[in-house]
Structure 1
Amino acid sequence: MQSLQQQDTAWAATAREGLAATDAAFASRFDTGVEAEAGIDRLLAERAAAVDALVQAAWLRCIPTDAGLALFAVGGYGRGELYPQSDIDLLVLAEPAVSQQYADALGRFFTLLWDSGLPVGHAVRSLAQCTEASIEDITVLTAMLEARPLAANEHERRELQAAVSPLLVWPPQPFFEAKRAELRERHARFDDTADNLEPNLKEGPGGLRDVQTLSWMALRIIGTADMESLVAFGQLGADEVATLERARRTLARLRYGLHLVAGKREERLRFDYQKLLATRLGFEDVGGTLAVEQMMQAFYRSASLVLRIGDRLLQRFEEQLEGEAEPEPLDALFELRRGYLAAREADWPRTPAQIFALFSAWAMRGELNGLHSHTARALAEALPMLPDFSRAEPALRQQFMALLRGTQPVRTLTRMARLGVLGRWIPAFLRVSGRMQFDLFHVYTVDQHTLAVLKNLASFASGGPSERFALAHEVWPRLRKPELLLLAGLFHDIAKGRGGDHSELGGDDARVFCRTIGLGEADTALVEWLVRKHLLMSITAQKQDIADPEVIHRFATVVGDRERLDHLYLLTCADIAGTSPKLWNAWKDRLMADLYTATRLALRRGLENPLAAAERSAETRQAVRTRLTTFGIDDAGIDALFARMPEIGFQRGRPDQLAWQAASLRGLAEGETRVRVRPVAADTGALEVFVHSLDRDGLFAAIVAVLDRCGLEIQHARVLDGPNGTIFDTFEVIPGDPRRAPVADEVARRLTQALDGPLEDIRPARRTQPRHLRHFRIPPKIGFDDAGQGRSTLSLVCTDRPGLLADVARILRNQRLRVHDARIATFGARAEDVFQITATDAQGRNQPLDENRRQALSAELLACLEGEHP
């Protein structure tokens, strides 16, 4: 005869098998799409019911019916919503003496559930302990607010409700304030935006926790957690409830599917699962839009709606608790209610013009609490009456332009976007709302990126100097019509996802809009040109040598005049900084400023009069000489320093940089290595590294490996051949981890020590590829061109990873090739690097790579990039 433990083991095994079969059936129903939309609630409820049956059977197996113990489901399980990997939260209600008496039976019960495959979380409390725990921790209270009897009678249910009633714990007002603060703090942890690359479906802004928080507030304040019941209480409109429910079901379906593809409790929609989930949900690639991008757009739009309606409901709860204040009239249309802007008439708005009038009044009032919830709802209901710009009356178009020319135009555009007005006015903007790009370069949806760019542009208008943007505050005041730059920012990415060149398509959109809105031909042409060329300055600065006068001349020829240059510079800075918080740094700031300054001088000189190399060199020498004189160096000493420096440096270097490098050579013996490191800008971690040494094979690879070991990422390298077999190398570097910015002197010490030893002993560090990079594999592309001056250009496009440049430099050393210039550009997961390289002949002279050398180098690089290299 089996022992009780053996019987329990057999029972649990059978229960586990039954639960697995049930979950497989649920997963099949989910995959066939039967449970799409409203059906997801049925699936969640049925899974909860299936688990109920198992839990109740285990309870009856372990606990006598007259034991005086009551069992409740709490938390999400208590709501009757159970996702595939959700915890099973249980509350056993019993007085201490009773729970002690049945401690062994309860232990057997919980063990049985765990052995059955249920992730059980439990608490055993008396009524008094429930009250005490709720007072101490509001999250305990919210779990018990949704307690559902599993093995409890009506009397026990009422007793539990009474133990956590507002009369004893957390009355409505403190409860509301605490949960609102908790919501805001949670949002802040996710940067106050749902538009993250890997959003949290449960805890993130606009996620399911927001919906649950609103339900808890409603239950505590109104007495019902049913959203539809709030219509009768005047807290929500029927349309708001319908919208909120649709958004919640979309989020619920995403979360259910995420649990299935992850096979574990996972609430964050990681790159690891996004493509799998999109396929499982039935999305397919269409035109220029990937399946995963369509799925993510559905999430972002749903989260946005939850946030929008949630803001209104929070405000109505606040009014419910504190009462309506006496309105303060502002003008014929609007008034203030408790610091919120509100329409005075119940039938507002009667015309589209009154919608734009709302934003005008809002802009003129400075800081307000926001838009009154009833007015926000009226605005949402009135959106269909607002025509798009192409069908609007001329007066309405002028009203919109007045908003752009008025007070706080960017804040106005942001408000219009978040309230759905901008998408109605410009349908192309609606199409990119919530649209993600499946890469690591763009960390926001297109609409949120656009708003970030506009916000950056607005910051330039502040007038004060900025540590982030060296010249922006000087350039902005020169703009003839700032609203034209705002329009360019609004349209620069508006054609993303259409399958063609978004710059060209966006330029077409901008031209149509500007002409329709009533702008003159010159203004229209400027906006259109900026949209078409908004990537020009970034590509030129990051992929070409802007110290080369020919590069500057070509760029200046395309730009054509000072007005375009001013606008393009500001748009480029705002665009790069608005793409990712980590993308803009001191090096990019200086790069853009240098290109702007050099182009401005070229335009002032006249494109028909390009600066000759000899003239550029002479000007730079004189500027460097002036600086060195201030260091106390006489003319003879300066001439001696100049003799040790490469001539091409004076043609392409900056005077301040060359003066610093020249001063570094003082007292240096022939053949001695000298390393100097200085910060590029205060508190950014960016450094400029200068290395002067006798040239040796593998020197570039050794320098790169040491910098890699110092935790530094190379943004740009200029490798020049100096007199008497020396090198004159300059590296622009930034810390790979901004939290661990290296000290300049320490970097100089480590480089000097390494270069004074055998170079072949220096190896790059080995690191594991970050998780997120594994999902963005870019097939390697290797190209060769003639760079002139007896050099070859090696271009490399591939997936970025830690130590990539160090590995490439090592291969160049293995092939006995020399590096003369390098431009390192990283765009999310995409690395685009360009090197000027040479081979050496039998006499040690530099030569371009022949076909055999190119094939050998290409083969070794591909082997490394494909993971085959040791």
Structure 2
Amino acid sequence: MPQQTLSIWEVGNLVIPSDAEVTNEICRQALKQGQSYLQQQFDAGSPIEELVYQRASFVDEILNQIWQQHISDDTPVSLIAVGGYGRGELHPYSDIDVLILLDESISDSPPDSLSSFLTQLWDVGLEIGHSVRTIQECRQQAEEDITIATNLLEARILCGASNLFESLQQLTVTNKTWDTRRFFELKRQEQLERHQRYNDTANNLEPNIKESPGGLRDIQVVNWVAQQHFDVKNLEGLRQKGFLANSEYETLQKAQNFLWTIRFALHHLAGRKQEKLMIDFQRELAKKLGYKDDESRLAVEKFMKDYYRCARSVRQMNSLLLQLFEETIILADEPREVKVINRRFQSHNGYLETINPGIFAYYPYALLEVFLILQQNPDLKGVRASTIRQIHAHLHLIDDNFRRDIKNRTLFMEIIRQPKGVTHEFRRMNELGVLGAYLPEFGCVVGQMQHDLFHAYTVDEHTLFLVGNLRRFSCEENREEFPLCSEVFNQLPKPEILYIAGIYHDIAKGRGGDHSVLGVVDAKAFCERHNLSDYDTSIVAFLIRHHLAMSTTAQKSDLEDPTVIKKFAELVETTERLNYLYLLTVADIRATNNNLWNGWRDSLLKQLYHSTHQWIEHTEAQAKSTREKSYKKYQEAMQKLLAKGRSQEDISKLWHAYDLDYFLRHSIDELVWQSEQRLDHLDEDPLIALRKHNDQQTLEIFIVTHDRAGIFAAITAALEQCQLNVLDAKINVTKEHDALNTFIVNGDRLDTRQITRSLEKQLANTSHVKPYSPTITPRTMKLFQTQPNIDFETNLQQNHTVMSLHTHDRPGLVSAIAQVFLSCKVQLINAKINTLGDQVEDVFFITTADDNALDELEENALKEQLLSGLSQ
């Protein structure tokens, strides 16, 4: 901690007579002016470490001044800073943790003045975290709780009896409360668990700059272990001990200062302690830190890219140093076990290492061989720290000549083609910088984030998650979770084609333009360099160019419409391409964010896959008229109902009022379930039936009521009031004027009683439906408001209009649209609701009141009403 000469009283222009009592008001004023001064210095570009230490110094002064007013010099008690405050580091709203250390002689009756001291601290606006203990209590609790032991490692006396503090240090630090080996193991385990809470990645959409992998806590873990074992206080001490090379020290110091800068600015922006880098702060921070928009990237995307790269370097150094600590602390007394693997590598106590430090200089291809050996030797624990350092030092060897070398191309393709370890080694290659060096186009997207709510990870992290998902489809242990994917994967002639497409599918993100077009150029160049055949290259290019086509078709189109299947089948052309594209699509969606994949999307993609597969294999049979397809479903559903003991007379009487379109647009399972519900509740109006749909968070709701205006508006208002997301809606009206409504919804809370009550209430008053209008809009949704984009297309064959709507998401959106449909006398027959983070891409299949497609005037009137309604 640098020596500070600036006083908080000088900053505030406050002159305190030595014999005068410092009042609460003076302290509050001093703290406020101190914060203001630090903010001014930050904006002026003062070194961040000076500001962090200055803030701690300011608080020291206030605590000392108040302590002197309450605690006499002869009282056997001391005030000690612990934790981050003990290190002398404070950000604007950081925790101020103190220990009040009592002598045993007053432990049973501490002076009342301590209470008044603490009260005044709160009164002046300091949020103090405090504990009151004797030395023996500190020792006992530190032995039981490693967190307390860690805090005491960083203890610093502020005022009071210095002999007490020295005794505490002697008992807990010098004599070691914890065995060094046990301390290391627990701290490493704590870190593993902490990383898992953040999906074991630094590249989340809203990272925690303190706790996420690669955050400040990872640097602190290194310092704690170093203090416990080597008795050094900071990174400089580790450098002096020889554990940190100069370049590594500079990397960590630079990373810490960058993270401190973000944290300091974030506290000021939030006006409170704030560690999560929320998306609504990211824009302001980027601007505050001097980032600018350009033609291809936003300032916030540049800022976050720097953050993610910083976090990656911190995590790399943390991993390297913990492994060195392990060798020094845990394995120091274990016998050295070395097994030669080949002329360049050996296993050293289970870790892969080079036989001598010059290997990479003499054999540059060994920079790739490392990862192939790890794949082929799964018993190896990883790469030894000394070899990791050598890799870092020789990355410059991976240049154009290296990439052109046939040995290196062959090694890279061997890594892709291995039956095991593909995911692990690609991830390791990325972490060590080898992947971005060998594929410079991939290096450009390392840390690249898209500023929206849809993409939860950086492009490189998303890509590696995708490759991991593809790999899981090949594993027998995952067959039950992904039955169709496992079956399809086993049919692939060359899985490496899929991995290459996965690596390149988003490679052109952040360049401006269509990334699926630009990515094809890079992928073709890769295929040419690595001697893939023209046929294989064409498949890779197809997959990258159309990697969004299957999800778009499944989520926006009527999959029961033969023209939709025909068009998609003509795009993919072959079963082989369909297989590759299906697997890539599932893996891509699952790797985009944790909330995107659900049973509903799974069922849509499966339906599109099977329909397209059948079309390609049996084009003539698939091209039968919709009438024949509907009749086939009619027959199959009838047989299933008869097998359940239902009478043919009752079924035929029920279905007599249905048109063929109902049988075309519903699955056989839906036909059977819905028919049973109607047969059991013929006289109910409304009939409301619910069941789980594919997964625990998705519901299928079947609603039958007498047809009248306002039904769709009433249902959507009721569902959104229950915090449900509408994914799909199908509406049919029978010859007897009953409206058959099928809705697929999902949400965090699926309270079937509440849903039923809400639907009954709204359907009882369809003439006065009010769209759901929440009082609070989530903070993130306010950031991405866009003007709605509405397009119309007429389906002449089925005589309806397809309306596409692209706008920002908000609570109550679907019920607001339903209200406009009601006022314009537009009927809904089908809807596909597709929410992509902060944006929605919805498709509505609509007709006029007399069941015709809308004409141009009607389209324009509807569009005008929607634009007006959605802008409110």
- Whether the TM-score (by the shorter chain) exceeds 0.5 is yes
- Residue 343 in structure 1 maps to residue 348 in structure 2: no
- Residue 187 in structure 1 maps to residue 195 in structure 2: yes
**Superposed displacement of residue 731, structure 1:** 1.9
Residue 384 of structure 1 is aligned with which of 377, 396, 405? 396
Residue 46 of structure 1 is aligned with which of 47, 54, 67? 54
User: Under a length normalisation based on structure 2, what TM-score does the superposition of the two structures give?
Assistant: 0.91
Task: Kindly provide the amino acid, as one letter, of the partner of residue 759 in structure 1.
Answer: T
Residue 244 of structure 1 is aligned with which of 248, 252, 255? 252
- Residue 685 in structure 1 maps to residue 697 in structure 2: yes
- Residue 809 in structure 1 maps to residue 821 in structure 2: no
Q: Deviations 1:493-535 (Å, cap 9, x if unpaired)?
A: 1111111111111111111111112111111111111011100
Equivalent residue number for residue 710 of structure 2: 698
CA distance in 1, matches of 2:170, 2:572: 74
- Residue 644 in structure 1 maps to residue 653 in structure 2: no
CA distance in 2, matches of 1:508, 1:607: 36
TM-aligned CA distance change 1:151 to 1:754, over 3 Å: closer
Residue 329 of structure 1 is aligned with which of 328, 331, 339? 339
Task: Kindly provide the amino acid, as one letter, of the partner of residue 796 in structure 1.
Answer: L
Residue 598 of structure 1 is aligned with which of 585, 598, 611? 611
Greater shift after overlay, 92-101 or 390-399?
Answer: 92-101
Residue 446 of structure 1 is aligned with which of 442, 459, 473? 459
- Residue 759 in structure 1 maps to residue 801 in structure 2: no
Q: Is the 8 A contact 1:470 1:589 kept in 2?
A: no
Q: Deviations 1:258-317 (Å, cap 9, x if unpaired)?
A: 011111111111123111111111111122221112222222111122222111222222
**Superposed displacement of residue 785, structure 1:** 4.2
CA distance in 1, matches of 2:778, 2:807: 15
- Residue 271 in structure 1 maps to residue 279 in structure 2: yes
Aligned with 1:684: secondary structure? strand
Q: Deviations 1:808-851 (Å, cap 9, x if unpaired)?
A: 223433444321111111001112222233343xxxx3455566
CA distance in 2, matches of 1:557, 1:686: 32
**Superposed displacement of residue 854, structure 1:** 5.0
TM-aligned CA distance change 1:101 to 1:412, over 3 Å: closer
Equivalent residue number for residue 178 of structure 1: 186
Q: How does 1:725-744 map to 2 (within 5 A)?
A: 725-734=737-746, 736-737=747-748, 740-742=749-751
Aligned with 1:196: secondary structure? coil
Q: Is the 8 A contact 1:388 1:424 kept in 2?
A: no
CA distance in 2, matches of 1:834, 1:9: 71
CA distance in 2, matches of 1:572, 1:49: 55
CA distance in 1, matches of 2:146, 2:20: 37
CA distance in 2, matches of 1:751, 1:261: 41
Q: Is the 8 A contact 1:675 1:748 kept in 2?
A: no
**Superposed displacement of residue 255, structure 1:** 0.5
Equivalent residue number for residue 555 of structure 1: 568
**Superposed displacement of residue 756, structure 1:** 7.3
CA distance in 2, matches of 1:59, 1:81: 21
Residue 386 of structure 2 is aligned with which of 370, 374, 381? 374
TM-aligned CA distance change 1:854 to 1:160, over 3 Å: same
CA distance in 2, matches of 1:62, 1:741: 57
TM-aligned CA distance change 1:643 to 1:341, over 3 Å: same
Q: Is the 8 A contact 1:646 1:728 kept in 2?
A: no
**Superposed displacement of residue 655, structure 1:** 3.3
- Residue 525 in structure 1 maps to residue 538 in structure 2: yes
Q: Deviations 1:321-366 (Å, cap 9, x if unpaired)?
A: 2315422414123333333223332333232221222111111122
Greater shift after overlay, 253-262 or 64-73?
Answer: 64-73
TM-aligned CA distance change 1:347 to 1:650, over 3 Å: same
Residue 612 of structure 1 is aligned with which of 625, 628, 631? 625
CA distance in 2, matches of 1:85, 1:754: 49
**Superposed displacement of residue 572, structure 1:** 0.4
Identity across aligned pairs (percent)? 37
TM-aligned CA distance change 1:691 to 1:104, over 3 Å: closer
Greater shift after overlay, 386-395 or 196-205?
Answer: 386-395
Q: How does 1:429-828 map to 2 (within 5 A)?
A: 429-463=442-476, 466=479, 469-606=482-619, 610-632=623-645, 639-666=652-679, 669=682, 674-681=687-694, 683-734=695-746, 736-737=747-748, 740-742=749-751, 750=757, 753=760, 757-760=764-767, 766-767=773-774, 768-788=776-796, 789-828=798-837
CA distance in 1, matches of 2:630, 2:754: 31
TM-aligned CA distance change 1:72 to 1:524, over 3 Å: same
Q: Deviations 1:549-608 (Å, cap 9, x if unpaired)?
A: 001111111111111111000000100111112111111111001101111111113489
CA distance in 1, matches of 2:723, 2:172: 54
Q: Is the 8 A contact 1:689 1:732 kept in 2?
A: yes
Say how many residue pairs are matched: 850
CA distance in 1, matches of 2:681, 2:513: 57
Aligned with 1:724: secondary structure? coil
**Superposed displacement of residue 545, structure 1:** 1.1
Q: Deviations 1:771-830 (Å, cap 9, x if unpaired)?
A: 332222233334444344554443322222333222322343344432111111100111
**Superposed displacement of residue 46, structure 1:** 2.4
Q: Is the 8 A contact 2:266 2:281 kept in 1?
A: yes
Aligned with 2:536: secondary structure? helix
Unmatched runs of 5 consecutive residues or more in structure 2: 1-15
Equivalent residue number for residue 290 of structure 2: 282
Q: Is the 8 A contact 1:475 1:566 kept in 2?
A: yes
Equivalent residue number for residue 324 of structure 2: 316
Equivalent residue number for residue 5 of structure 2: none
Greater shift after overlay, 805-814 or 524-533?
Answer: 805-814
**Superposed displacement of residue 176, structure 1:** 1.5
CA distance in 2, matches of 1:236, 1:119: 37
CA distance in 2, matches of 1:851, 1:500: 32
CA distance in 1, matches of 2:603, 2:373: 40
Residue 140 of structure 1 is aligned with which of 129, 148, 161? 148
Q: Is the 8 A contact 2:715 2:763 kept in 1?
A: no
Aligned with 1:449: secondary structure? helix
Q: Is the 8 A contact 2:472 2:478 kept in 1?
A: no
Aligned with 2:97: secondary structure? strand
Q: Is the 8 A contact 2:372 2:411 kept in 1?
A: no
Q: Is the 8 A contact 2:22 2:65 kept in 1?
A: no
**Superposed displacement of residue 238, structure 1:** 2.6
CA distance in 2, matches of 1:516, 1:778: 43
**Superposed displacement of residue 719, structure 1:** 1.5
Task: Kindly provide the amino acid, as one letter, of the partner of residue 865 in structure 1.
Answer: L
Task: Kindly provide the amino acid, as one letter, of the partner of residue 637 in structure 2.
Answer: V
Q: Deviations 1:85-131 (Å, cap 9, x if unpaired)?
A: 12333333341545788734434444444444433333343322332
Greater shift after overlay, 480-489 or 804-813?
Answer: 804-813
TM-aligned CA distance change 1:69 to 1:554, over 3 Å: same
- Residue 210 in structure 1 maps to residue 218 in structure 2: yes
Q: Is the 8 A contact 2:701 2:744 kept in 1?
A: yes
- Residue 259 in structure 1 maps to residue 267 in structure 2: yes
TM-aligned CA distance change 1:326 to 1:652, over 3 Å: same
CA distance in 2, matches of 1:812, 1:381: 65
Task: Kindly provide the amino acid, as one letter, of the partner of residue 844 in structure 2.
Answer: F
Greater shift after overlay, 786-795 or 830-839?
Answer: 786-795
Q: Is the 8 A contact 2:718 2:759 kept in 1?
A: no
Aligned with 1:552: secondary structure? helix
TM-aligned CA distance change 1:713 to 1:100, over 3 Å: same
**Superposed displacement of residue 153, structure 1:** 7.7
Residue 424 of structure 1 is aligned with which of 431, 437, 440? 437
Q: Is the 8 A contact 2:469 2:587 kept in 1?
A: yes
- Residue 293 in structure 1 maps to residue 301 in structure 2: yes
CA distance in 2, matches of 1:568, 1:240: 43
TM-aligned CA distance change 1:624 to 1:388, over 3 Å: farther
